[in-house]
Amino acid sequence: MSEALALLSHEDPDAVLAWCGGRPVRAAVFLDDAQRLAQALPDGAHVLNACQDRYHVAVGFAAAVLRGKVTLLPSTRTADAVRQLREQLPDLFALVDGPSELDLPQLRYPEGRGTAAPRAQRPLCMPRIPADRVVAKVCTSGSTGAPLPHDKTWGSLVACIHAGRRRLGLPPGTTLVGTVPAQHMYGFESTLLMALHGGLALSAAHPFYPADIVDELARVPAPRMLVSTPVHLRALLASGLDIPPLALVLCATAPLAAELACEVEARTGAPLVEIYGSTETGQIATRRTSQGEAFTLLDGVALVPQAQGLALASGGHLAAPTPVHDLIESLGDGRFRLLGRGADMVNVAGKRSSLAHLNHQLCAIPGVVDGAFFAPERGAGEVVGRLMAFVVAPGLGAPELRRLLRERIDPAFLPRPLVLLRELPRNATGKLPRAELAALAARHGESAEACDDER
């Protein structure tokens, strides 16, 4: 028989589990909300949690767990993606907390939740969940191809959170403010599950713009942890706004430049920890990026080298050895250096580089706000793949960008075309799905001899 694990790590019914609009929500109230919603859920075994409010997402997830349902956390909710999910899972329904165009049966999140007075006079009657129960299907981001679902058991999620919590060493009661959605694996772990099983409190808000991030940080009590991405952090620093004191900054979803990490620490006075992981593995390693490029694996996790520089992650919270789709250099003692994604490597005229390296060099040019290289699929008979680049650089023209880029990278990798845009189609986590880049490439592919300008 499988071990049963508590739904929450909070033992005190009066412990603060969430902050909603500056108002504390106690563990007892959260549990009441989850149990009431659980009784209202339809009979379908699969629920797509499409709530926007992070507290609603957390209550909806807990309610589904209590009813034995599987929560779907897709990376995209386009009409086509939802249609495919419904074909695979005919009983799928959506939990929403606002207007929604999802072509699914829908349940509206009940109003007035999180407002009841905590019943602190009696201990919590904590539900316990079988560790081997599948409670979520989390989809990959699609940054390197089609999104794929991955089953997550309650035991593996809880073990992952405990390992991450030990590594971060945050004091109990720390408030988590996230710029990433709770439906993405990083946000799911580091804002939602970290609150449920880390003894911390989540902020219900989902701030995106710098002013909103600063306002929400000021609204919740210290100590605070900001859970963010390189894109959001870069914009926050560029805003020049005063950032409330932080205990820690957590960063993931894209490679983080050491220069940006140092600047974040200088501006906030807080250490910045970068997480390494994936939808398939969950978080498996961390590093203090300002102090070195080596990652350190979480307790119990190991990387087993495979062919061509790839590896299998095993141990710790992982139920089975899981491929890591990055090129890894082992440094011993649970440390490794990340060399780039296996699918990220490009070979032009016999020379090899990685898209991550090229993107870093492009974005390091003064005046470049954002940018990304793209390697289109090779056509029939095409010997050398032609690289493209999409750049946001107000005030810079394509010839100047090419000259500056030539100083940083081998001429073999200079993009043709180099397309100037007002913004790049990044998703809510700051990633650029390959499908979006492919659409840009298809749109601008015929102008290979010229530099388009859509600013």
Choose the weakest-confidence range: 41-45, 145-149, 260-264, 449-453: 449-453
Query: pLDDT band at residue 452, thresholds of 50, 70 and 90?
Result: very low
Residues 249 and 359 in one domain: no
Residue 335 has what DSSP assignment? E
Q: What is the pLDDT of residue 407?
A: 86
Residues 289 and 243 in one domain: yes
Residues 363 and 317 in one domain: no
In a domain, residue 414? The reply is: yes
Residues 210 and 296 in one domain: yes
The amino acid occupying position 102 is L
The domain boundary residue, chosen from 321, 340, 359: 340
Residues 145 and 262 in one domain: yes
Q: What is the pLDDT of residue 217?
A: 97
Q: What is the pLDDT of residue 116?
A: 47
The amino acid occupying position 174 is T
In a domain, residue 296? The reply is: yes
The domain boundary residue, chosen from 311, 340, 369: 340
> What angle do the packed helices 258-268 and 230-239 form, to 10 degrees?
50
Residues 326 and 405 in one domain: no
CA distances from 438 to 76, 340, 345 (A): 16, 20, 17
In a domain, residue 280? The reply is: yes
The answer to whether residue 2 scores a pLDDT higher than 80 is no
Query: pLDDT band at residue 80, thresholds of 50, 70 and 90?
Result: confident
The domain boundary residue, chosen from 273, 306, 340: 340
In a domain, residue 453? The reply is: no
CB of 84 closer than 8 Å to CB of 75: no
**What is the span of the domain harbouring residue 66?**
4-340
Phi/psi for 8 (5° steps) reads -125, 150
Residues 419 and 369 in one domain: yes
| 258-276 tens-digit pLDDT | 889 999 999 999 999 999 9
Number of domains in the chain: 2
| 345-387 tens-digit pLDDT | 776 755 667 787 788 889 889 889 889 999 887 544 343 457 8
| 172-199 tens-digit pLDDT | 889 999 999 998 889 999 999 999 999 8
CA dist., res. 131 & res. 26, Å (int): 25
Q: What is the pLDDT of residue 438?
A: 87
Give the 3-state secondary structure of residue 323: strand
Residues 305 and 425 in one domain: no
Residues 323 and 411 in one domain: no
Omega before 223 cis (within 30°)?
yes
Residues 336 and 360 in one domain: no
CB of 137 closer than 8 Å to CB of 41: no
Cβ neighbours of 167 (radius 10 Å): 17
HSE (CB half, 13 Å, CA atoms) of 143?
A: 23
Length of the chain equals 455
